[in-house]
């Protein structure tokens, strides 16, 4: 045993004044008594009246000297040499990926075990060693920079939280290797990876500077996972569900696969998944109009199989999104209108013959060009070009010759990119609709009106396209695209899918009628994004459903859902790896003896000193009570 601060042993000299205080006694006061029967007692006390006494056995003195000795040793920081994994500059990389949530180790999860291993390394640091702690997740994080402060390093390790993401090992190892910059030797930094070995593509990395060591955690590989969950819709058919369950263990596993549709239990079936196999599940049909499907795996009560990773036992899927809105176009051979509708994304046009009348209902958008049915449909939105007769919704007047200039309401978001400055118009009709707003006007009246009636969006173009050169101008497809977007605005999420991996960054869209976006995470936490910040949301580390809401003055004007599922075979295959391959080099497990470390004993000595202090306090107070007790 040696000492890191041997000069602290001088504190032991305080034992001299303690002993002197016990040898020195105060004189007793002389008291006049009424009887000489007490003289004998006074004679016996003569010895006590002398200032110096022979040191006698005293339990309190022994306890106080013992306390001083223990505290002196603690201040001197004694240590013993023990085997250590590494020494010098050490980068400890803690795996905090989804697989580290596995419960196949005693006392918690794999991450808990990894943290205990990291603290053991901290406890064996030498006096000149420096260590950094790095958390490996989707975004690697330095929990503590290079320091020799063991308390700070322990606190950094304890603060490492688990995640449901796949770790970016390329970034984590690059971050650790940055500690070697500026060192004289290539192996000046030792990297210690504490993980279950699921490093994914990190095996393809180039050679990494420094000494690499690997400490594996985990004991078993038994795990069932929902590897896929998706909905699909075929034309004229009810939506279907596809799911896949994968067994990553070496034994057959029984499970109950349950589905909840919009919160209500729809089905629960028992399946047997073969060892190292998978089971695809295709539902016959799903109810129309559903929003969310939640799938879950549950262990049957009589099954001996133990699923060690619950993180991938639940998944979510949303109702399939239709690729295009169905639009019925009733026109008498207007090729310009038909052609522009074909090139605008998000709409599927169907042509009808005005001579045969309205072919039916069930369309998302009705476009009437110079023709109107006797009764306007109410099951879809309307775009009426050159209205012919008045209806309860609007009034059609006579023709007006074009004069003056055309004015576009630039303040309206639907007209942001519409430019009518080069458009020439012969005449138009006087159309009045009290519920509508004039988006394009001339001196005699409105050219384009748009508004909403009882949830139905309606736009009125008050002139015949053939009475203008608008179909020949770039303003025509821009105007039609703007109106189609108004009828069916794009999703708040600028992506075709509605399900993502943990840690994915989502580009969001702020609607023209909103001033902020709010995201509600699966745990109920809310985040707000404003136009002044980048409309990219990357806080998708939690598994589950997220709600995205567009706000205007605090009120919700539009909302959308998206799901985050694990669906990562590298994380679900939890069998621990006994060795790693990085940069073409096989890294075996760290041996029992790699370096010589130091294990300090001061904490145990300080604790023992506190215990002895409590014993001394109890002895002192017990004697005080005995002296004060009345004599009977």
Cα–Cα dist 435/76, whole Å: 87
Examine the domain organization and report whether 59 and 155 are in the same domain. no
Q: Please list, in sequence order, all residues whose beta carbon lies within 8 angstroms of the beta carbon of residue 183, skipping any fewer than 6 positions away.
A: 89, 189
Structural domains counted in the chain? 5
Domain boundary among 464, 487, 510: 487
Task: With beta carbons less than 8 A apart as the criterion, state whether 99 and 196 touch.
Answer: yes
pLDDT at 27 (0 to 100): 45
pLDDT at 82 (0 to 100): 54
pLDDT at 184 (0 to 100): 44
The answer to whether position 595 is within a domain reads: no
pLDDT at 96 (0 to 100): 93
Q: Note the pLDDT tens digit of each residue in 549-589.
A: 999 888 998 889 999 999 999 899 999 888 877 766 777 66
The answer to whether position 600 is within a domain reads: no
Say which range, 30-39, 145-154, 209-218, 463-472, has the weakest mean pLDDT: 30-39
The answer to whether position 534 is within a domain reads: yes
The answer to whether position 494 is within a domain reads: no
Taking residues 219-234, report their average pLDDT: 88
pLDDT at 631 (0 to 100): 45
Q: Is it the case that residue 158 has pLDDT exceeding 90?
A: yes
Examine the domain organization and report whether 212 and 229 are in the same domain. no
377 vs 170, higher pLDDT? 377
The answer to whether position 24 is within a domain reads: yes
pLDDT at 245 (0 to 100): 95
Examine the domain organization and report whether 370 and 394 are in the same domain. yes
Q: State the CATH number of the domain containing residue 252.
A: 2.60.40.10
| Chain centroid offset of residue 38 CA | 85
Strands 516-520 and 544-552 come out as antiparallel
The answer to whether position 599 is within a domain reads: no
> Which token pair is 164?
């449901």
Task: With beta carbons less than 8 A apart as the criterion, state whether 166 and 200 touch.
Answer: yes
603 vs 260, higher pLDDT? 260
Q: What separation in angstroms does the CA of 182 have from each of 63, 185, 187, 208, 460?
A: 53, 9, 12, 15, 71
Examine the domain organization and report whether 121 and 34 are in the same domain. no
pLDDT at 616 (0 to 100): 77
Q: Give 191's pLDDT tier (boundaries 50, 70, 90).
A: confident
The number of residues in the chain equals 632
Q: Is it the case that residue 516 has pLDDT exceeding 60?
A: yes
Examine the domain organization and report whether 408 and 544 are in the same domain. no
pLDDT at 627 (0 to 100): 55
Q: Please list, in sequence order, all residues whose beta carbon lies within 8 angstroms of the beta carbon of residue 577, skipping any fewer than 6 positions away.
A: 196, 197, 198, 216
Q: Please list, in sequence order, all residues whose beta carbon lies within 8 angstroms of the beta carbon of residue 145, skipping any fewer than 6 positions away.
A: 132
Q: Helix 602-628 crosses helix 59-75 at what angle (to 10 degrees)?
A: 160
Q: Note the pLDDT tens digit of each residue in 330-359.
A: 998 888 898 888 888 778 889 999 988 998
* Residue 576 neighbours by CB distance under 10 Å: 19
Q: State the CATH number of the domain containing residue 407.
A: 3.40.50.880
The answer to whether position 200 is within a domain reads: yes
Cα–Cα dist 15/580, whole Å: 57
Examine the domain organization and report whether 356 and 421 are in the same domain. yes
Taking residues 397-410, report their average pLDDT: 91
Q: Please list, in sequence order, all residues whose beta carbon lies within 8 angstroms of the beta carbon of residue 339, skipping any fewer than 6 positions away.
A: none
Helix (H, G, I), strand (E, B) or coil at 419: coil
> Which token pair is 507?
């580009």
**Exposure class string for 121-144: b at 16+ Cβ within 10 A, else e:** bbbbbbeebbbbbbbbbbebbbbb
pLDDT at 252 (0 to 100): 94
Q: Give 227's pLDDT tier (boundaries 50, 70, 90).
A: very high
pLDDT at 160 (0 to 100): 94
Examine the domain organization and report whether 70 and 90 are in the same domain. no
Examine the domain organization and report whether 375 and 347 are in the same domain. yes
> Which token pair is 67?
């306390």
Helix (H, G, I), strand (E, B) or coil at 122: helix
Nearest to 223 by CA among 97, 101, 95, 94: 101
Examine the domain organization and report whether 211 and 338 are in the same domain. no
Domain boundary among 461, 487, 513: 487
| 3-class DSSP string for 456-494 | EEEEEECCCHHHECHHHCCHHHHHHHHHHHHHCCCCCEC
Examine the domain organization and report whether 478 and 584 are in the same domain. no
Return the bridge partners of 272, or none.
254
Taking residues 388-394, report their average pLDDT: 94
Nearest to 298 by CA among 332, 327, 336, 260: 260
Task: With beta carbons less than 8 A apart as the criterion, state whether 491 and 509 touch.
Answer: yes
* Mean pLDDT, the chain, integer: 82
pLDDT at 235 (0 to 100): 56
Domain boundary among 463, 487, 511: 487
Examine the domain organization and report whether 354 and 483 are in the same domain. yes
Domain of residue 431 covers 325-487
pLDDT at 187 (0 to 100): 46
Taking residues 13-35, report their average pLDDT: 63
Cα–Cα dist 497/518, whole Å: 20
The answer to whether position 201 is within a domain reads: yes
Q: State the CATH number of the domain containing residue 528.
A: 2.60.40
Taking residues 140-146, report their average pLDDT: 90
Examine the domain organization and report whether 210 and 235 are in the same domain. no
């Amino acid at each position: 045993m040696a000492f890191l601060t041997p000069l602290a042993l001088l504190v032991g000299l305080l034992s001299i004044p303690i002993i002197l205080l016990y040898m020195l006694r105060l004189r007793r006061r002389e008291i006049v008594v009424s009887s000489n029967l007490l003289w004998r007692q006074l004679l016996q006390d003569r010895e006590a009246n002398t200032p110096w006494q022979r040191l006698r056995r005293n339990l309190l003195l022994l306890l106080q000297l013992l306390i001083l000795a223990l505290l002196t040793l603690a201040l001197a920081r004694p240590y013993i040499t023990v085997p250590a994994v590494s020494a010098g500059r050490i980068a400890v990389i803690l795996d905090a990926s989804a697989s580290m949530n596995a419960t196949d180790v005693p006392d918690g999860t794999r991450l808990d075990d990894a943290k205990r291993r990291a603290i053991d390394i901290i406890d064996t640091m030498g006096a000149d060693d420096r260590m950094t702690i790095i958390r490996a997740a989707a975004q690697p994080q330095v929990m503590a920079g290079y320091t020799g402060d063991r308390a700070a390093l322990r606190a950094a390790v304890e603060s490492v939280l688990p995640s449901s993401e796949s770790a970016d090992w390329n970034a984590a190892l690059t971050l650790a290797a940055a500690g070697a910059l500026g060192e004289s030797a290539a192996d000046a930094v030792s990297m210690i990876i504490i993980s279950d070995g699921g490093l994914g593509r990190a095996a393809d990395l180039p050679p990494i500077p420094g000494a690499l060591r690997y400490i594996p955690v985990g004991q078993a590989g038994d795990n069932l996972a929902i590897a896929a969950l998706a909905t699909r819709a075929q034309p004229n058919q009810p939506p279907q569900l596809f799911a896949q369950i994968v067994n990553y263990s070496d034994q057959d596993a029984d499970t109950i696969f349950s589905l909840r549709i919009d919160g209500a239990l729809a089905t629960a079936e028992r399946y047997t998944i073969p060892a190292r196999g998978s089971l695809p599940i295709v539902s016959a049909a799903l109810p129309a109009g559903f929003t969310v499907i939640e799938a879950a795996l549950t262990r049957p009560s009589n099954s001996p199989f133990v699923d060690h990773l619950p993180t991938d036992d639940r998944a979510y899927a949303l109702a399939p999104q239709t690729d295009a809105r169905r639009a019925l176009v009733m026109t008498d051979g207007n090729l310009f209108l038909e052609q522009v509708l074909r090139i605008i994304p998000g709409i599927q046009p169907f042509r009808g013959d005005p001579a045969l009348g309205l072919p039916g209902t069930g369309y998302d958008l009705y476009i009437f060009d110079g023709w109107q049915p006797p009764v306007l449909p109410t099951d879809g939105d309307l775009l009426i070009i050159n209205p012919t007769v008045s209806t309860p919704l609007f009034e059609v007047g006579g023709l007006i010759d074009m004069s003056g200039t055309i004015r576009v309401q630039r303040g309206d978001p639907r007209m942001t990119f519409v430019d009518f400055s080069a458009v020439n118009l012969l005449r138009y009709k006087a159309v009045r609709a009290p519920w509508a707003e004039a988006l394009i006007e001339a001196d005699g009246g409105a050219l384009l009106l748009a508004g909403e009636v009882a949830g139905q969006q309606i736009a009125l173009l008050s002139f015949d396209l053939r009475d203008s050169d608008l179909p020949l101008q770039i303003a025509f497809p821009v105007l039609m695209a703007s109106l189609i977007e108004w009828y069916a605005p794009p999703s708040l999420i600028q992506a075709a899918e509605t399900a993502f991996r943990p840690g994915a960054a989502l580009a969001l869209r702020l609607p023209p009628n909103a001033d902020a976006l709010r995201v509600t995470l699966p745990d109920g936490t809310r985040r707000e994004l404003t136009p002044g910040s980048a409309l990219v949301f990357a806080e998708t580390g939690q598994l589950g459903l997220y709600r995205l809401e567009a706000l205007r003055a605090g009120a919700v004007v539009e909302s959308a859902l998206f799901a985050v599922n694990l669906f990562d075979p590298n994380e679900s295959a939890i069998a621990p790896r006994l060795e790693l391959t990085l940069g073409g080099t096989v890294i075996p497990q760290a041996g029992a003896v790699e370096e010589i470390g130091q294990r300090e004993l001061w904490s145990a000595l300080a604790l023992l000193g506190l215990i002895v202090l409590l014993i001394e306090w109890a002895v002192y107070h017990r004697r005080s009570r005995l002296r004060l007790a009345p004599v009977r």
